[in-house]
Amino acid sequence: MKRTSLTLIAAAAAISAGIGVVSAPSATARTTPTAQQAAHAGQSSLGADYTPPPIEWGECPTASLQRAGAVCGMLTVPLDYSRPKGTKIQLAVSKVAHKTSDADAQGAMLVNPGGPGGSGLGLARLGQFVPKQGGDPYDWIGFDPRGVGRSTPQLSCDGDYAAPGRPAYVPEGPATERFWLSKAAAYAADCGRAQPEFLRNNRTTDTVADMESLRKALGERKINFYGFSYGTYLGQVYATLHPERVRRFVFDGVVDPRNVWYEANLNQERQFDANIDTFFNWVAENDDAYGLGTDGRKVRAIYYDILEQLTDDPEENFGAADWNDVFVSAAYYVYDWDSFAHILAAAAGGDLGPAKEWYGNPTGPGADNGFASYLSVQCTDVQWPSWRKQRHDAYKLAATKPFLTWNNTWYNAPCLTWPAPAGTPVKVDGRKAPGILMIEETYDAATPWAGAIEVRKRFPRSALIEGVGGTTHSGSLSGVACTDDRIADYLLTGELPQRKPGNNRSDVKCDPVPTPEPTPVEGAGAAADSQKAAGAASRLGSLRTQLVDAQLVSR
């Protein structure tokens, strides 16, 4: 689901032409939920009157997809499904065909990596990582959602928005608060100028309608779906609106449908603070390697001392906000804990070079594509509260949960003046859907545990696998046999783990994604190996990196 540091958003191509520019509405023109509900009445039939043309398959644009034997093409869909004969846009789609006989094939498996705003084109390769050849019977379908990646148009508002050297997220006074509010409002205005018509047609329900169009283009009566993070919410909404089209669905890192999207951010902020402390404690437990002390509280103090130093005396190309962003991933996943420990050790010795290298320079045309796409969904799925309420909540929460609170607040602040009308979320109801498989680690911060429990209640035929005590977000297929073998069994046979009685528990308890092996620091200023891709410890390798980047888009 949500939370990404703009740091990790890969630069993409410039915006493609194709949508005419119209004047953007003012912030006060945002429609009320009632009006928007009327404007989008009949969400379950959104796209029912549209049949897409066939996808013309050809060579894929990336070497990794080519090596996987994938084919790629473009899916043509309406910009506005209520006007199916109007302006069209195109979604980039990839396919790795089933490896079984046609008689044993089980249809198309759509994959979404999360975000919103994550590119999924490369995820047609996911099937090869399912054990027991559990992915072989499926045509694995990756796609870039509308506005994302190689889909056209590609949404971008200000490619230099995350340029390094930013001041602290935590307001040191009115000037800092004014800076971030002004920066956020300017970004929202830039988006309104860049793609105003597109912004009005980029809700979760629009992507769900695109999934229906993709089903039709593939000639499938039902679809299979593997959703990570925000992708689980897409799956929930699809299964609510189209339960008769659901075959086998996997949800990993489960979004709480009660909390889209403001409350979801507050819940993240609470758990992220706990998870970064878990990382600091791990560093302390491995003092022989890192030399930062045997007390997690002292390791935490090193991080916050450097944050304060960069707040008071930021470097020209690296500030307190950049330092905070670097470590967000450590509270998301365990994969790169060793690298982050090296970055912290180097900084403790006065060398910020590894931290700067990790942050990089996420600027240039299209570099904000993931961030812009994230906002265009989250700001329009539902009306966000006033700044007065957000400010009150942020100050209150940051008093005890400082790690992510202000970072997250400013990340979402463009929603305050977003130049497109807000809608009303679909009420998720899985009572008519067949059995689905869910995976969640106990202390997942991006999509906290309560969300998985809630979705388990709403989908009474579902089963939930718990990675007990883990902090990794959306970590399935990382080599934990207890989890991955059950995914394979479900995909091969439809067999789910036996559902336990009661509504507030998991059905299977497995080990979490394991922490990495510590590697020794050869001196206080030793450079971290920032070439270690996120996910190097997992079976997915570079594909896990793509998943991590997509999920970090959401904050």
What are the helix and strand counts (H, E) for the chain? Answer: 18, 9
Q: Which among 277, 273, 331, 269 has a CA at the least distance from the CA of 301?
A: 277
CA 510 to chain CA centroid, nearest Å: 24
Q: How many residues does the chain have?
A: 555
| DSSP code, position 123 | G
The alpha carbon dihedral of 192, 195, 200, 205 has a sign of: negative
At 441, which helix (H) or strand (E)?
strand 437-441
At 215, which helix (H) or strand (E)?
helix 204-218
For residues 515 and 282, is the Cβ–Cβ distance under 8 A? yes
CA 358 to chain CA centroid, nearest Å: 19
Q: What is the CA radius of gyration of the chain?
A: 22
Q: How far apart are CA 294 and CA 280, in angstroms?
A: 10
Q: Is 347 exposed, middle or buried (0-12, 13-18, 19+ CB in 10 A)?
A: buried
Q: Which among 400, 464, 395, 417 has a CA at the least distance from the CA of 199?
A: 417
Q: How far apart are CA 96 and CA 124, in angstroms?
A: 6
First-to-last alpha carbon distance for the chain, in angstroms, is 8
**Buried b / exposed e along 32-42 (16+ C-beta atoms within 10 A):** eeeebeeebee
For 44, the token pair is 């379950």
Give the strand order in the sheet containing 463-467: 71-78, 88-96, 139-143, 108-112, 223-228, 246-252, 437-441, 463-467, 508-510
Count other Cβ atoms within 10 Å, centred on residue 275: 25
Q: Which residue is listed with tokens 């769900």?
A: 208
Catalytic positions are 229, 444, 473
For 479, the token pair is 């080599």
| DSSP code, position 152 | B
The phi, psi pair for 386, rounded to 5°, reads: -65, 160
For 200, the token pair is 């009005």
Q: How far apart are CA 455 and CA 450, in angstroms?
A: 9
